[in-house]
Amino acid sequence: MRGPEDRIDALWKAHSAALRARLVNMLPDRQLAEEVLNDTYLVAWRRMDQLTDPPESGAARAWLFAIARLVGANAARSHRARDRLVQRLSRMDHRTPSIAGSDDVVDLRLALEALPTEDRRVLRLAAIGARGRDLAVALGLNQPAARKRLSRARARLADLTGRPVHDDGDGGDGR
């Protein structure tokens, strides 16, 4: 009986060219198709115990293509979300977050510079209107983690300035 390395090699040799062609047709660009191809084989490697048929078989091909369809759908969804965010951000005004009762932009800039890079990034994204899923995608986090990061960054900025930071009506939760 073949080991997992031999089986994944056999799957690659038997099906990668056809799978790559399918993914190039299915996805918006070749680079994304290559990423999905690699991710598909990574999932196949982790699930190799589920494949009872020989790697060269039609059943193995169907199993691999089913994995690729799911991985590809997830990748395409993420790609579309990133594209929507980029389009939305390009249409928005690039403004600095406001501080209640302060017209002194210099104080705000100094406070922002004193913050860690990730805090500055999340505050800038929120300032230009990134919310909820868009904020999470931009940060590479899930939505609760993105909301928490934004909330903490606003709290740190408020501590540095001694003034509350407006949350633009989203309550810091991006909903």
Mean pLDDT, the chain, whole residue set: 83
Q: Which domain holds residue 69?
A: 4-91
DSSP for 44-62 reads: HHHTGGG--S-TTSHHHHH
4 versus 167: which is more confidently predicted?
A: 4
Cβ-based neighbours of 135, under 8 Å, separated by 6 or more: 122, 125, 126, 143, 146, 147, 150, 174
Average pLDDT over residues 73-99: 71
Residue 10 has pLDDT above 90, yes or no: yes
Q: Does 158 score more than 60 pLDDT? A: yes
Are the beta carbons of 48 and 69 closer than 8 angstroms? no
Please say if the pLDDT value at position 101 is more than 60. no
Q: Compute the distance between CA of residue 39 and CA of residue 62 in angstroms, rounded to an integer.
A: 16
89: pLDDT confidence band, cut at 50, 70 and 90?
A: low
Global pTM value: 0.53
Q: Does residue 87 share a domain with residue 67?
A: yes
> Among 35, 56, 91, which residue terminates a domain?
91
Question: Are residues 82 and 100 located together in one domain of the fold?
Answer: no
Instruction: Check whether 28 has a pLDDT greater than 60.
Output: yes
Domain end position, chosen among 72, 91, 110: 91
Kindly report the length of the chain. 175
The share of the chain scoring above pLDDT 70, in percent, equals 83
Q: Is the pLDDT of residue 150 over 90?
A: yes
* Whether residue 164 has pLDDT greater than 50: yes
- Using pLDDT thresholds of 50, 70 and 90, give the confidence band for residue 161: confident
How many domains is the chain built from?
Answer: 2
Contacts of 155 (CB under 8 A, 6+ apart): none
Residue 64 contacts residue 40 (beta carbons within 8 Å):
yes
Q: Among 44, 69, 91, where does a domain finish? A: 91
